[in-house]
Amino acid sequence: MSNVYLKYILLFVLLILFQVLVLNNIQFSGYVNPYLYVLFILLLPFETPKWLLLILAFFLGFSIDIFTKTIGMNTAASVFMAFCRPSVIYLLSPKQDFEPGIRPCIKDLGFRWFFAYSLILILLHHLVLFYIEVFRFSEFFSTLYKVTISTTFTLALVILCQYLFYNFKKI
Amino acid sequence: MRHLLAFLLKHYFILLFILLEVFAFSLIINNNHYHNSVILNSTNHLTGSILNTFQNISEYFSLKHVNKELAEENARLHSLSEISFLKTDTNFLYKDTLYKFISARVINNSTNKRNNYMMLNKGTKHGIKADMGVICSNGIVGIVTSVSLNFCSVMSVLHENAKISAKIKKNNQLVNVVWKNIDYKIGIIEDIPTQIYIHYGDTIITSGNSFIFPEGILIGTVKNYLTKKGESMNRALIDFSTDFNNLHYVYIIDNPMKGEQLNLEEFREYE
């Protein structure tokens, strides 16, 4: 059991480091900025208590904020995303009770399920994040464009990570 | 009490969510200058109108004092007007005004904080822009920092970042006036060369070097001269001539040639 906790702590740290050291330095044409760190919230097991989900999302966002000097923005977006997660899971598979051991990943639930699940949550996260960053509605469409592009990139990275780890386990 | 607890337990998820989001937003607003200014600008309008109404009422109580002040100023202005002087040269006329004065009323003011601001009832509608100087009949008051449609907020001289370029009236030595949070009546002049002697009661006026204040606006009088061995510059305490705790009507100074002056300065730096 402690092995599982250790794995998630390691994932937490690695994702933050990867985000602030690598991804934050990527800025294609000023629009694209993938936020892969949300993968942590996506991958948490189904049994995670709801309060723990919010607290973890809070600390995740806050850690990113400390590095990017945007105190509060990523925090607000991550907490919102964590808040939506149970509803999105219910929306995608309303009657299904997940067996213990099944985790939200492509391997256990298939590509289509995971794709929809990630797309909705990442989109929600990016919407909140980018609109908080701009903090006004006068640049509504250019912000929306930014959200769309960044969501696509983050989603691609999330799927890519899934396949990397999937293959890893098979071998 | 039990019902309350039951309610909290039942809805703990959404309550925790709201709590965390409120906390995150307070972090955003306190730590990000841009977001802070957006909030301030939009609330300025509301608080401005409330404070304005309040000031309208409280003004009645000091009418007598203000009238006296205005009468005194009128008298002083009369003494400066054309009729008070002997005409020696009738051909010489000032057609260009270097400074314009816009009168305004103080609707909110503080003196007891480390950084003090006040709000005036004139805004962009009346031609107020940031970085204009503000004076009152007794002396300098501050500098306009941000402007909304009907109101503007002024950084008082009683502010950490306020540094007024001044000079000693009797010998034109340039000094700087700052405020170190001692008392709202007392300021400090810095950068006095050691060879200069100043005495109790010497007058400090604005230097006119900053394009914000015209030359010769009263700042205060010297109260105490502080020397320290081994330092090349001395300091002195001054009594502000302005009573910051009792401000009602002030004048905002517009310098129409400021742009031209700044351009020239930039050009000079270019060379």
Would you list the DSSP string of B81-134? SGGGS--S-SS----S-S-EEEEEEEEEE--SSSS-EEEES--GGGT--TT-EE
| The CA-based dihedral angle spanning residues A113, A115, A121, A122, taken in that order and rounded to the nearest 10 degrees | 170
Mean pLDDT, chain A, rounded, equals 85
Residue B267: strand, helix, or coil: helix
pLDDT, mean of residues A6-23: 87
Q: Work out the minimum CA distance from B97 to partner chain A, whole angstroms.
A: 40
Would you give the DSSP letter of residue A28? B
Residue given tokens 């794709």 in the structure block: A115
Q: What pLDDT, on a 0 to 100 scale, did the predictor assign at position B177?
A: 92
pLDDT top residue among A137 and B158: B158
Q: What pLDDT, on a 0 to 100 scale, did the predictor assign at position B239?
A: 92
CB atoms B13 and A51 under 8 Å: yes
Residue of A71, A125, A133, A136 to mutate, testing the B interface (most B Cβ within 10 Å of its Cβ)? A71
Q: What pLDDT, on a 0 to 100 scale, did the predictor assign at position B81?
A: 56
pLDDT, mean of residues A79-88: 92
pLDDT, mean of residues A139-164: 88
- How many whole angstroms separate alpha carbon A75 and alpha carbon A83? 12
Tell me what ipTM this predicted complex has: 0.81
Q: What pLDDT, on a 0 to 100 scale, did the predictor assign at position B95?
A: 46
Would you give the DSSP letter of residue B194? T
Is the CB of B15 inside 8 Å of chain A's CB atoms?
Answer: no
Is the CB of B20 inside 8 Å of chain A's CB atoms?
Answer: yes
CB atoms A72 and B24 under 8 Å: yes
Q: What pLDDT, on a 0 to 100 scale, did the predictor assign at position A171?
A: 37
Residue B233: strand, helix, or coil: strand
The pLDDT tens digits for A54-65 are: 999 999 999 888
CB contacts under 8 A, B 32-51 vs A, are: 32, 34-35, 38
Take residue B14 and report the two structure tokens written for it: 């959404």
C-alpha angle with apex B72: B69 to B75, nearest 5 degrees?
150
- How many whole angstroms separate alpha carbon B247 and alpha carbon B244? 6
pLDDT top residue among A128 and B76: A128
Q: What pLDDT, on a 0 to 100 scale, did the predictor assign at position B194?
A: 81
**B205 strand-pairing partners:** B167, B218
Q: What pLDDT, on a 0 to 100 scale, did the predictor assign at position A60?
A: 93
Take residue A12 and report the two structure tokens written for it: 């937490």
CB pairs under 8 A between A and B: 53
**B240 strand-pairing partners:** B220
pLDDT at A155 over 90: yes
- Residue in B with minimal Cα distance to A134: B35
Is the CB of A73 inside 8 Å of chain B's CB atoms?
Answer: yes
Q: What pLDDT, on a 0 to 100 scale, did the predictor assign at position B80?
A: 64
Q: What pLDDT, on a 0 to 100 scale, did the predictor assign at position B143?
A: 92
Q: What pLDDT, on a 0 to 100 scale, did the predictor assign at position B255?
A: 81
Q: What pLDDT, on a 0 to 100 scale, did the predictor assign at position B79?
A: 60
CB atoms A135 and B27 under 8 Å: no
Is the CB of B243 inside 8 Å of chain A's CB atoms?
Answer: no
Q: Centre a 10 Å sphere on the Cβ of residue B65 and count the other Cβ atoms it contains.
A: 11
Residue A123: strand, helix, or coil: helix
Q: Work out the minimum CA distance from B171 to partner chain A, whole angstroms.
A: 49
Take residue A131 and report the two structure tokens written for it: 């609109």
Residue A73: strand, helix, or coil: helix
Could you tell me the pLDDT band of residue A28, with boundaries at 50, 70 and 90?
low
| pTM assigned to the model | 0.52
Q: What pLDDT, on a 0 to 100 scale, did the predictor assign at position B160?
A: 85
Residue A149: burial class (beta carbons within 10 Å; 0-12, 13-18, 19+): middle
pLDDT at A170 over 50: no
Considering chain A, what percentage of its residues have pLDDT values greater than 90? 31
Could you tell me the pLDDT band of residue A118, with boundaries at 50, 70 and 90?
very high
Low-confidence ranges of chain B (pLDDT < 70): 75, 78-98, 271
Q: Where are the beta strands (DSSP E) in chain B?
A: 100-109, 117-120, 133-135, 140-147, 152-156, 164-168, 174-183, 186-193, 203-206, 218-226, 233-240, 249-254
The pLDDT tens digits for B180-228 are: 877 888 999 888 888 888 888 899 999 888 878 888 889 999 988 877 7
Q: What pLDDT, on a 0 to 100 scale, did the predictor assign at position B47?
A: 77
CB atoms B35 and A135 under 8 Å: yes
**How far apart, in Å, are the Cα atoms of B9 and each of B5, B6, B12, B215?**
6, 5, 5, 68
